[in-house]
Amino acid sequence: MDSGDKGVVMRALITRPAEDAKGLEAELRRRGIAVMHEPMLSIERMADASVDTAGVQGLLFTSSNGVRAFASLSDRRDLPAFAVGDATARACRAAGFVDVHSAAGDVDALANYVIEHCQPLDGRLVQIAGTVSAGDLAGALRAAGFIIDRLPIYEAHAATSLSPATRDAMKSGRIDAVLFFSPRTASTFVSLAESAGLENACRNVNAYCLSPAVAKRAAALPWRRITIAAEPTQTALLDVLDSP
């Protein structure tokens, strides 16, 4: 916690992996919000991961973690990159992709976008994934006639405990909001908070969730209020933070 911040209107806990938290932290600080970090997941590329891009018409990315993992394995940047949302699309551009498309939503939105803009006869698709992922993107596209390979090339390891700093801040009322961006992140936090005996502390904290699926997992704790973004994007989640 940055107790020395001036004009702080809220104190927020970011639960995103460290690699994904930088842009979010900057947006929060720009709003005068003090920030703590408690990553619920740590990302590691699988040691034996490999990607075959022969005959591929496009790459599908459901997270920035997948973009970074792919970029560390392959120099191919000429393929179209289809991203689940705007943050993942930005990661694609930062990695050097030029032909980038954002579905500006969730996995279902990405499936619909690909079905609308691609043809099964143009070649196979490759979904760059983690060992655990939400939704069934590959299943939806196969049902639409596409050939798609789902390649898990990174692992997201769940945290096993909350840091002493976060436990103390929760117990002393120095956290006003916790931000959740995925069902797994929310579930992990719930489990660790319960293990730390923080249920009562959560009654004074608001949970901000990227989607109803995320909120469903977070709801296992007795938050003061659960707020869901109007659409599953970081921008929409920040919009609800900006609302009175």
Asked if the structure places residue 149 within a domain, the reply is: yes
Q: Is 146 in the same domain as 194?
A: no
Q: Is 15 in the same domain as 52?
A: no
Q: Is 123 in the same domain as 176?
A: no
Q: Is 61 in the same domain as 34?
A: no
Asked if the structure places residue 1 within a domain, the reply is: no
Residue after which a domain boundary falls, among 157, 185, 209: 157
Q: Is 53 in the same domain as 27?
A: no
pLDDT-derived band at 238, boundaries 50, 70, 90:
very high
Q: What does the pLDDT read at residue 222?
A: 98
Q: For the chain, what is the domain count?
A: 2
Q: What does the pLDDT read at residue 5?
A: 42
Kindly give the pairing relationship between strand 56-61 and strand 148-158: unpaired
**Do residues 194 and 217 lie in contact, with contact meaning Cβ atoms separated by under 8 Å?**
no
Q: What does the pLDDT read at residue 78?
A: 95
pLDDT-derived band at 128, boundaries 50, 70, 90:
very high
CATH code for the domain of 78: 3.40.50.10090
Asked if the structure places residue 4 within a domain, the reply is: no
Q: What share of the chain is helix, strand, coil (3-state, %, to 5)?
A: 40, 25, 40
Q: Is 116 in the same domain as 165?
A: no
Q: Is 70 in the same domain as 137?
A: yes
Asked if the structure places residue 231 within a domain, the reply is: yes
Mind listing the pLDDT tens digit for each residue in 175-230? 999 999 989 999 999 999 999 999 999 999 999 999 999 999 999 999 999 999 99
Residue after which a domain boundary falls, among 140, 157, 174: 157
Question: What's the domain range around 48?
Answer: 44-157
Mind listing the pLDDT tens digit for each residue in 45-99? 888 888 889 999 999 999 899 999 999 999 999 999 999 988 899 999 999 999 9
pLDDT-derived band at 3, boundaries 50, 70, 90:
very low
Residue after which a domain boundary falls, among 157, 172, 197: 157
Q: What does the pLDDT read at residue 244?
A: 65
**Do residues 46 and 154 lie in contact, with contact meaning Cβ atoms separated by under 8 Å?**
yes
Least confident of 1-5, 143-147, 157-161: 1-5
Q: What does the pLDDT read at residue 85?
A: 87
Q: Is 17 in the same domain as 56?
A: no
pLDDT-derived band at 35, boundaries 50, 70, 90:
very high
Q: Is 191 in the same domain as 133?
A: no
Asked if the structure places residue 5 within a domain, the reply is: no
Q: Is 73 in the same domain as 136?
A: yes
Q: Taking phi first (over 0 means left), then psi (-120 to 50 degrees means alpha), and beta for anything else, what does residue 36 get?
A: beta
Higher pLDDT, 242 or 244: 242
Q: Which residues contact 49 (CB under 8 A, 6 or more apart)?
A: 69, 73, 151, 152, 153, 154
Asked if the structure places residue 2 within a domain, the reply is: no
Q: Is 105 in the same domain as 206?
A: no
- Say what the pTM is: 0.77
| Rounded percentage of the chain residues whose pLDDT exceeds 70 | 96
Q: Is 52 in the same domain as 86?
A: yes
